[in-house]
Amino acid sequence: MNLRTTLKTYASIFIMLIAFGLHAQNDFQGEAVYMSKTTVDLDNFGGRELSPERKKMIMERMKSMLEKTFILTFNKTESMYKEDEALESPAQGGMRMMGGMGSNGPVYKNVKTNEYLQDQEFFGKQFLINDSLPKYEWKMTGETKQIGQYMCFKATAVKKVDAADWTNMRRRDRDEDKKKDDEKEDAEVQKDSTKKEEFKDPFDEIEIPEEIEITAWYTMQIPVSAGPGEYWGLPGLILEINSGRTTILCTKITLNPENKKEIKKPTKGKEVGREEYQDIVKKKMEEMRAMFRARRGGRRN
């Protein structure tokens, strides 16, 4: 074999290896199972007077809403995150509605096209949130920990809280204004001793913070910029997210499963942008508040 023939042979092998590598990269897929758990402090929402047995019963009924299993299907550029319907109990659908608040559907992300799609149901209406990927200013802390067989690195960021994110609802802190409120109430009582007790709007007692800090743990052993829900943007798969009172933890990973799933974009629902959807939620919440006040006002007359 002369030099020219040898070079041609090596070149052919090199081209075949590149082609094989590209095929393997394009054909790569993974599947990650996540457990999501949200804690609720009933004492902050009028539960202090409830008996321990009553609290336990309420928490058991809310369990299907507070503890869920999700599956993230991903490749190098795309991912689809949705609830594991096989584990959904018959009662879960009703609890999930939260009195009409709706439920989150599949979330599709594409880091190559900067595309974000979410199937969202809200008060019986189906929406398709179509927007660019949310931006996170991740800060690397240098901390590490082991999650299963994967070495993970810690990163933190601050994110804005969605108007419909009931998981971050909290009792409004009125300690600073309590003294002023008491003084004002005493003055009003003295002015009109026959005045009926003022109606207290329960919506005034609840607030959603404008932003919260989130913590992510990601592994560079799986170098894809994917993660559960809306989260992404790190140089490795996110295996754990701590956001407010919610923790999302990866419990199982399968790389290149035998039966690969097609990652399809959600298409159902009225197409809206993220800000437009937030405006719809805020408007509906204000309508609910006005209706509640009107009903309460009617009862007093």
- The residue among 161 and 63 whose pLDDT is bigger is 161
Q: Is the pLDDT of residue 114 over 70?
A: yes
Vertex 123, ends 167 and 67: CA angle to 5°?
35
Nearest-Å Rg of the Cα atoms of the chain is 26
Structure tokens at 1: 């074999």
Q: Residue 248: CA atoms inside 13 Å, Cβ hemisphere, count?
A: 26
pLDDT of residue 49: 61
Residues 71-87, mean pLDDT to the nearest whole number: 91
In the prediction, which pLDDT does 22 show? 38
Give the pLDDT of residue 21: 45
Q: Read off the pLDDT band of 88 (50, 70, 90).
A: low
Q: Is this prediction's pTM over 0.75?
A: no
> In total, how many domains does the chain have?
1
Q: What is the pLDDT of residue 267?
A: 92
Indicate the length of the chain as a whole number.
Answer: 301
Domain that holds residue 51: 40-300
Instruction: Encode 69-84: b = buried (16+ Cβ within 10 Å), e = exposed.
Output: ebbbbbbbbbbbbbbe
State what percent of residues in the chain have pLDDT above 70: 60
Token match 């913590």: residue?
A: 215
Token pair for residue 29? 């897929």
Give the separation between CA 245 and CA 253, rounded to whole angstroms: 24
Q: Does residue 101 belong to any structural domain of this protein?
A: yes
Q: Is residue 221 part of a domain?
A: yes
Q: Residue 31 pLDDT > 90, yes or no? A: yes
Give the DSSP letter of residue 164.
T
Half-sphere exposure of 51 (CA within 13 A, CB side): 3
- How far apart are alpha carbons 64 and 219 in whole angstroms? 29
Residues 117/128, Cβ–Cβ less than 8 Å: yes
pLDDT recorded at residue 122: 85
pLDDT given at position 293 = 73
Q: Considering only residues 201 and 128, tell me which one the structure prediction assigns the higher pLDDT.
A: 128
Q: Is residue 8 scored above 50 in pLDDT? A: no
